[in-house]
Structure formats: structure tokens, C-alpha cells
Chain A
Amino acid sequence: MNGPKSPNSWQYRGLNMKNPGLDHLSNGLIDLVKAGHNVVAGSADLQYSNGLNRFAAAYPDRYISFGISEQNMVSVAAGIATTGVVPFVATFASFLGLLACEQIRMDVAYGGQPVRLIGHHTGISLGFYGTSHHATEDIGTMRSIADLTVVSPSDGAQLEAVIAASAEWDQPIYIRIGRGRDPVVYESRPSFTFGKAHVHGFGEDLTIIACGITVHAALEAAAAMKAEGRSVGVIDMASIKPLDRDAIIEAADRSRTGKLMTVEEHNVLGGLGAAVAEVLTDESKGIRLKRHGIYDEYSLIAPPTHLYAYYKLDGAGIREVAEGFLRG
């Protein structure tokens, strides 16, 4: 017997090759190499989860297999970066931003080395694989590290845009991404500038500031609310650090209800909502801010779509939370 008979049976590597959503990370890196950048990539035993197997196939001499050793991976990457070679290293966000947090601070950020850290399967996207594999703290840990840029692209096309922009960015970068099955926000590679939000409109009733996978859901919620006559806008705040303060201030100034909302696949403490709240406080905007996300608890396990619905992080859920906030 050479394998299972049913075409419905599947295995890990086969599943990887059937998921074009995993192309984006490698596509972005391959473009950098083709443009002449001395880029290498590595992963901690997860090349088929993050799609770096495509990069490894294209440039086997530029791929580093680290085995299951996240801390060593980060510190080695920092050593590589001292020589002018730019390393991209990837593993689950739950491990990268937490297990290797101190290596990121010490060797990468304090060391001032332009390492690119890819934390994938972030938030609750690993679903029933376990709360151990959920990353609802990584924005908080990473954005409190000085000299570290933090971005959370909302889909694969924007991830490619971030990777392209990284070629002109000297600081180390933490890039927080999903599991390669994110709904499409941008049909083609959008423009991306560190420190600049992608504004999908400001709302006089409400502007929803979102990042990552919640941008698509926020756009769905906004569309449904607009269909009922509300003025609702969405800001894709992919650049969490540096943050687009001007976009937040403009959203506040345009709000007639005096309300703003943030949405993130992250603890409401320390993440995007906290970053926006800091700006509003700094600027004395007198805005009521609804910070929506995971409410300082350990997320349950379930298939990801069920979790997004349960935590009201899908389109319907965000709409429900937003409407409740506007009423209350």
C-alpha cells in the first residue's frame, strides 16, 4: 500500500503545497534576493507551516534549518546580521515573541541588528492546537522593546509589501502574521510605509482601527453598518510601531460621537488598543475608546473560525460590539 486511498485524506506537507496563502512570505523574500539583497532565511522546524520551504527550494544555500531551537535561532540571526547579511527567521509567534523575547531584546534590538523576525500563526489562529500555541501577548512584548519595529500585515499581499519596504529600513522588525489562510484585503500588493496606516475611510459615527486578520472582519462590519446608514470607517494599522499618530488624531477629530474602536487578535492589554489609547491620552482627545480583542484571558480551543465567532472577532461579532458601543 503506497498511501491512503481517499483523496480526502491529507498529510502535513501535502496540505502545505495546496495552500497558496503560504506563498507570500517566500515570494517576498525571493523578490529581495532577485533584487540583489543579501538575504537569508531560517526557521525552527516549521518551514512547511510558514511556507519557507518554497524559499528553501528556490535558494537552498540561503535557507538555514535550525531545528527546534528558537532562542539559538534568534541569537544566530543577530550574529549573521553583524556581517551585513540580512536574516529573516520565522517560527510560531507564541514561541518567537515569548520564548525568545529576551534574545530579541538583547541580541537583536539592543544589539541594533536588522534581523527580520516573522511570528506566524499569531493570535488564536492555531485554534484547537492549544492555548499554548496562541499568541495574544506578542504585540505587547515586542512593542515595549526599544528600537524594534512592529508590524501586523492584514493579508499576504500586504506582507509582501512589508517585506519589500524592509529593504530600506535599518531597524530590526517583528512581523506578526497569520496562518496563510487570511481573507484577502488587497487584491494586489498595496503601498506600505513604516509608520503610515492604510486608511479605508474615516467614520463620523465610528472609525475602527484594526490590524492583522481583523482588518478584513472590520471592513465587513463597517460595510454592514454603512448599509444601514451609519458613517463608519476602518484604518488598517499594520504599522504598530512606529504608529501612525496622525491617522488616529484625524479619526478622533472626525468623530461626531466622540467614540473610536480598536480591534485586534490580541489581549486588550498592551496591544494595538493600548497603543491607540496612549496617543489619545497624550493628545488629550477626550475620546471614549472601545478596545476589542481578547479580554485578558486565556483563549479557548476550537477550530479558528469558531473561535473568531466566539470572541466576536469576525465581521458579525465586530459589528455587534460596535453597535453596542455606539448605543451605550
Chain B
Amino acid sequence: MTSQTGTVAPAGNSYAPDQATIDRLRERAQFIRLETVRLIDIAKTGHYTSVFSAAEVFSALYYDVMNLRKGEPKWEERDRFTIGKGHAAVGLFPIYADLGFFPTEWLDDYTRLGSPLGDHPDMRKVPGVDFSSGSIGHALSNAIGIALAQRWTGKHYSVFCMMGDGEMQEGQVWEAALFAAQNKLGRLIGIIDRNGFQLDGRVDDVMAIEPLDEKWRAFGWEVHIVDGHDIAAVTELLRRLRADDTRNQPAMVISKTLKGRGVSYMETEPGWHLGWLDPSDADEAIAEIKSQVI
């Protein structure tokens, strides 16, 4: 990537990424999965599947769509990202190191005493984290505050917020949904990682949330549904939403994903929300991740 990423309206009024970009973003999504396996082995516990469902979106955002500067995590005009499912931070830290926000060596001490890197991201300790996470349901409100503040700072940027689908059960999300529409926050783009599972089982068995698109539309948001593992489709959609300066309502992307995508047995067993792979199993998981084109 260049020193500064960001969306530039491509020729032909199309936001579709070219093949070289698709290949690069696929490779970065694979890097995110592989680093997740490596870091969780250091901690001996972690949220593999929560990262695996979001890997393509993470890759598209940080390696293409978001306006960022390498090595400048506090650049005031950068795009921001907040995350409600903070337990997926293990998949974000390798990206931040890769972007030069902190030394790569930090990753090697992931979760150890004194490390800034824990299971949930801390903005006071980890350069690149735009807002701390760990209590589900706050992130959309945090993103709203950052987006709203452009009125008083004169800075221009977009704010992305990823939430889990189980997170839709938190009441604060809907307070925030009303507020963002009322305040016409067109620079706010939400993403729901609709992977279908929460700790106690299937989201729709525990506390049904459908019809999700109609709910957000009814709350005044522009709603898009995308296959969250189709890197070309994800990138095109997020590029287009970010580039649209005329939108006067917030946008919500429902990213349909598979929890655990990339390691076949994790895709069908919700218990893998939290776990650890013995090195022999980790080797097989790595091999499976490397063997696929997602």
C-alpha cells in the first residue's frame, strides 16, 4: 500500500477493486487469520471465530477503504474505527503493528503481564485503537461522538463502527440508532458482523433480532446487505459509502458472515467462540487457512 490509503473515486464511476487489489486484500485477510492463530497460542485462549468472521471487513477497511497514514495513529484527519465486539481485537493488533502504529515485537508478548495488548482493546495503551472496547453496546455511541465532533473541530473524516449481531440485544444500540439519524450523521458507517452466533447459541434462538434490515431502515438508516466474505463486494460497497459526501443519513452494512470462517470445524460449532488449539491442531488450522481462497 502507499503511505496514505483512502478512497479516490476511480475512473468509470466504479468503486470495484481491480484484481491486484482483490489479491492483496485477500492475502491480508489471510494474514489476519494466521496472526490470530499465532497470538492466541501465546495467550493460550482467545476468540478465533470472532476474528475469522470479520477478517475480510478488517482487511478492506484498514488496507483500502479507511483514510490512514502509516505510522501516524493520532493523525487528526484519519478515519476512525470503533468496535463493539472488542474480543476480536486479537485480529486488529497485527494490522496496527503492520501499519506501523506500534512495534511488531509487542505482538510477541500478547496478554502477558505488562503488555498493552489484551483480549479487549485499550485506547490509552494501544496506538491505533480509536476507542476502548469491552462492554458490548457502547461502540456506536462512541463512534457517533467522534463523528459529531467534526462540527466543532473542522476536521473531516469518516467513522466506521463494527458491532456484533448479538450486540443488537443491547438497549443502548437503539438509543444511538435514533440519535445518529436525528443528527444526520452521513459520515458514520456501521457494520454488523452478522455471523449468527453468541455465547449461548444461535442469536436468533437466544434473542431474535430479525428483520434486522427493516429495523435499521425504520430507525432512519440507509441499509446495505453484503456477503461479508466476498472481499470484492465488501470493498466496493465500503468504498462507495465512504466516498458519498451527499448522504445525510448514517449507513448500516449488514455483513453476512460465517463465524469461524477459514477453519472448517469452527464454522459449525459455536463453542469455538472461545478456545485454544494445541500446536498440532494449530498447524492443521494454519494449513487449512493457507489452502483456501476466501
Contact = CB atoms under 8 A, between A and B. Distances in A.
- Which range contains the number of B residues in contact with the other chain? 20 to 34
B146 A72 contact: no
A84 B141 contact: no
Interface residues of A, number: 30
Contacts of A110: 122, 124, 132
A78 B134 CA distance: 15
A15 interface: no
Interface in B179-214: 179, 182
A106 B152 contact: no
A70 to B, nearest CB: 9
A106 B133 CA distance: 8
A87 B122 CA distance: 21
B144 A82 contact: no
A79 B142 contact: yes
A102 B135 contact: yes
Q: Which one of A79, A83, A102, A107 has the highest number of Cβ atoms from chain B below 10 Å of its Cβ?
A: A79
Contacts of B150: 83
A225 interface: no
A55 B134 CA distance: 34
A72 B176 CA distance: 6
A106 B135 contact: yes
Given A72-B172, A111-B131, A78 B152 contact: no
Interface in A55-107: 61-62, 64, 66-67, 69, 71-72, 74-85, 87, 102-103, 106-107
Given A82-B131, A102-B135, A106-B132, A111 B124 contact: yes
B167 to A, nearest CB: 13
B135 A79 contact: no
B83 to A, nearest CB: 13
A66 B176 CA distance: 9
B interface: dominant SS: helix
A66 B182 CA distance: 10
B3 to A, nearest CB: 23
A82 B130 contact: yes
B138 A75 contact: yes
Contacts of B182: 67
B123 interface: yes
Contacts of B143: 79
A76 B148 contact: yes
B153 interface: yes
A66 B146 CA distance: 15
A72 B175 contact: yes
Nearest to B145: A79
Contacts of B76: 83
Contacts of B152: 38, 40, 62, 80, 83, 85
Nearest to B123: A111
Interface string A263-295: 000000000000000000000000000000000
B149 interface: yes
B145 A78 contact: yes
Contacts of A195: none
A79 B150 CA distance: 11
Nearest to A75: B141
A281 to B, nearest CB: 31
A112 interface: yes
A80 B171 CA distance: 21
A61 B152 CA distance: 9
Nearest to B146: A79
Contacts of A67: 175, 178-179, 182
B153 A79 contact: no
A78 B142 contact: yes
Given A107-B132, A111-B131, A76 B145 contact: yes
Interface in A6-50: 38, 40
Interface in A147-194: none
A85 B138 contact: no
Given A76-B176, A79-B145, A80-B149, 10 more contacts: A62-B152, A74-B141, A76-B145, A76-B179, A78-B131, A78-B142, A78-B145, A79-B146, A81-B145, A103-B141
14 contacts: A38-B152, A69-B175, A71-B141, A71-B175, A79-B82, A79-B131, A79-B143, A79-B145, A81-B145, A83-B150, A87-B145, A103-B138, A107-B138, A110-B122
Interface of A: 38, 40, 61-62, 64, 66-67, 69, 71-72, 74-85, 87, 102-103, 106-107, 110-112
Those 8 A-B pairs whose CB atoms lie nearest each other, nearest first: A79-B145, A75-B141, A69-B175, A72-B175, A83-B149, A76-B145, A80-B145, A79-B142
Interface of B: 76, 82, 122-124, 130-132, 134-135, 138, 141-153, 155, 171-172, 175-176, 178-179, 182
